[in-house]
Amino acid sequence: MYQYDEYDATLVRERVEQFRHQVDRRLTGRLTEDQFKPLRLMNGVYLQLHAYMLRVAIPYGVLSGKQMRTLGHIARRYDRNYGHFTTRQNIQYNWPALVDIPDILGQLADVEMHAIQTSGNCIRNVTSDPYAGAAADEIEDPRPWCEIIRQWSTFHPEFSFLPRKFKIAVTGAAEDRAAIRAHDIGLKVVKNDAGETGFAVFPGGGQGRTPRIAPLIREFLPVQELLAYLTAILRVYNLHGRRDNMYKARIKILVESLGADEFRRQVEEEYEKIAADGSLALPDEEIERIRGFFPPPPQAESAEPVQFSDDADFALWRKHNVRPHKVAGLKSVVISLKPIGGTPGDATSEQMEAVADLAEQYGFDEVRVTMEQNLILPHVREADLEAVWRALADIGFATPNAYTATDIVACPGLDYCSLANARSIPISQEISTRLDKSGLIEDVGDVTIKISGCINACGHHHIAHIGVLGVDKKGEEFYQITLGGSHSDDADIGSIVGKGLPGEDVPAAIERILRAYLATRSDGERFLDTLRRVGEEPFKEAIYEAA
């Protein structure tokens, strides 16, 4: 993992003390709320329906055991004994008092954490493949690049007041598990014919009100040119992005209005100028220095096949929650934060502390947060899998449903969020309970269900195979179903199917969609393939069948 140097440590410490003074000035009337609000937002502090919410950065979703333990401690000491892991690979606390937040930030700084770049119109925390450094299909570990982007972007004076927020995602693997084409810039590590490493660059993706899949504008960018090229994209956006209309201010609107070719032309022109003086070229020594913080994964002591016990529950959990690893004898473990009928992404203090212990004991001291709101132990010896499973079962974290239809993503929705139209969590709970009872889960396989409480799409409904969007109709909650989205290599935006349903009808409608799929699929066809082959009509009929 990256270790702070004295610059990082000083910067984060100074920031805590600045915020302590800002809070004090607000409480004593020396700052108005209008003056204070942008300052608190720059420190991850939002005001939600019931309380303040603190969003803590987990850069590219990577945590040590010690950091995870601190997150659990903060939940117990300052919150209501739990935290909520989000689709941005972050954690949110829903109940902190403003007066406590400087102390919370101080405790985070003690373990090299902070809440910087979690809000505001800046470059937000970089997100990445949660299996980075472990994935069997990896071309190169993307974390050094994420860290380089983090260092470059933090408090970047030119890019601290962009037209809108700006999100960058990086993957180094063959399969896109970071939804790179649904970000303002997506970067994919690729190799050219000469075997050199570079990036494929996809700007102009995004979700929200106007969802777009990012086009490819550069097939191969040499790695040394990463910051020069990102700067060129940001400059074109900073200059031409729509500051007059916040609904049109994201880069996706600019890329679309110019067209990908013209946007590329402008970026390349800007890049030529920047590249000419070479000042943003990354020196090879610096790349190697950062790479040094992310050593290759540990070797398993033995790569001999492990004889597992014949416990059926353990076998089912292995089937869904244990993933291949690049090192023989190691596996990655998905810790499901989706108990049937539970709140997606929530973890109590005790659960976080137990995960910290497991990471230290069995996981080479690493934990990852996923955009599916789960946790991952990226490196676990096969021989330790059963012990890990038993320990997870003890804390309610061994639901064998990773990447299945009950692994539902849901934003906080109207139970917490001041921007929401409708609740998300209860709908997700009812869907998961119903689907679990239906007995369909094993049969339907790879289906993603994601729920957002409003068009801001924090629950990623646009890129779900089955999306659920909360809408408000004259003060009543309704839910629109979308079909056919994907965040992966076949990235696509789901389309809305018909009129909204009342919440109580949604779980049954989703069950009927899955049954229609089983009745329609050809051999070996995934849900998404069937949908693309036959179109949405049979599914639409299924949704409204009972209406």
Partner 1 sequence: MKMISSNKLTDGRVIFWTGAGWSADMKDGKVLEDDAADAELEAALKDEATEVVGPYLIAVDGHDPAGRERLRETIRLTGPTTGSTKYVHGIKPGTEA
What residues make contact with ligand SF4 under the rule CB under 6 A?
411-413, 417, 419-420, 452-454, 456-459
Under rule CB under 8 A, residue 353 binds partner 1: no
CA angle 221, 225, 230 (to 5 degrees): 85
Task: Give the residue with the Cβ less far from ligand SF4, 459 or 485.
Answer: 459
Where does this chain touch partner 1 (CB under 8 A) — which range of 97-105, 212-220, 286-294, 297-305?
A: 97-105
Degrees to nearest 5, angle at CA 189 with 231 and 165:
40
Decide which of partner 1, ligand SF4, none touches 445; Cβ closer than 5 to 8 Å per partner kind: none
Among the listed residues 4, 95, 403, 544, the single contact to partner 1 using CB under 8 A:
95
Cβ-contact 362, 385 below 8 angstroms: no
Question: Does 346 help bind partner 1 (rule: CB under 8 A)?
Answer: yes
Q: Of these, 415, 492, 511, 536, which contacts partner 1 (CB under 8 A)?
A: 415
1 binds partner 1 (CB under 8 A): no
| Residue 457's binding partner out of ligand SF4, partner 1, none, with CB under 5 to 8 Å set by partner kind | ligand SF4
Among ligand SF4, partner 1, none, residue 456 binds (CB under 5-8 Å by kind)? ligand SF4
Query: Which residues pair with residue 451 across a beta bridge?
Result: 410, 468
8 A C-beta contact, residue 166 and residue 132 = no
Q: Are 357 and 440 in contact (CB under 8 A)?
A: no
- How far, in whole angstroms, is CA 142 from its chain's centroid? 15
Q: Is residue 94 close enough to count as binding partner 1 by CB under 8 A?
A: yes
Structure tokens at 366: 């690493």
Cα 100 to Cα 19, 25, 120, 405: the distances in Å are 11, 15, 22, 39
CB count within 10 Å of CB 546 equals: 9
Which listed option, ligand SF4, partner 1, none, makes contact with residue 98 (CB within 5 to 8 Å by class)? partner 1
- Report the distance separating Cα 464 and Cα 459, nearest Å: 9
395 lines the binding site for partner 1 (CB under 8 A) = no
* Interaction pattern, residues 485-524, with partner 1; x per rule: CB under 8 A: ----------------------------------------
Assess contact for 494 and 467: CB atoms under 8 A.
Answer: yes
Q: Does 452 bind partner 1 (CB under 8 A)?
A: no
Binding partner at 343 among ligand SF4, partner 1, none, C-beta below 5 to 8 Å by kind: partner 1
Contacts of 268 by beta carbon, 8 Å cutoff, 6+ apart: 232
**Minimum distance between the CB of residue 449 and ligand SF4, rounded to whole angstroms?**
15
Q: Does 99 bind partner 1 (CB under 8 A)?
A: yes
CA 111, 13, 294, 336 dihedral sign is: positive
- List the structure tokens of 353: 């502390």
d(CA 227, CA 278): 11
Considering beta carbons, is residue 40 or 212 the nearer one to partner 1? 40
Q: Which of 407, 477, 492, 536 binds partner 1 (CB under 8 A)?
A: 477
Q: Which is nearer to partner 1, 127 or 374 (CB)?
A: 374
Q: 59 is written with which tokens?
A: 């850069």
Tokens of 230: 């990102």
Residues 6+ apart with CB under 8 A from 437: none
Q: How far is the CB of 153 from ligand SF4 (least distance, A)?
A: 23
What is the C-alpha to C-alpha distance for residues 449 and 465, in angstroms, rounded to an integer?
6
Q: Is 348 an interacting residue with respect to partner 1 (CB under 8 A)?
A: yes
Binding-site partner at residue 27 among ligand SF4, partner 1, none, CB < 5 to 8 Å by type: partner 1
Is there a contact between 363 and 379 (Cβ–Cβ < 8 Å)?
yes
| Window 37-66: residues binding partner 1 (CB under 8 A) | 47-52
Nearer to partner 1, 10 or 418 (CB): 418
Q: Which residues bind partner 1 (CB under 8 A)?
A: 26-29, 32-33, 47-52, 80-82, 84, 94-95, 97-99, 343, 346, 348, 414-416, 420, 423, 425-426, 429, 474-477
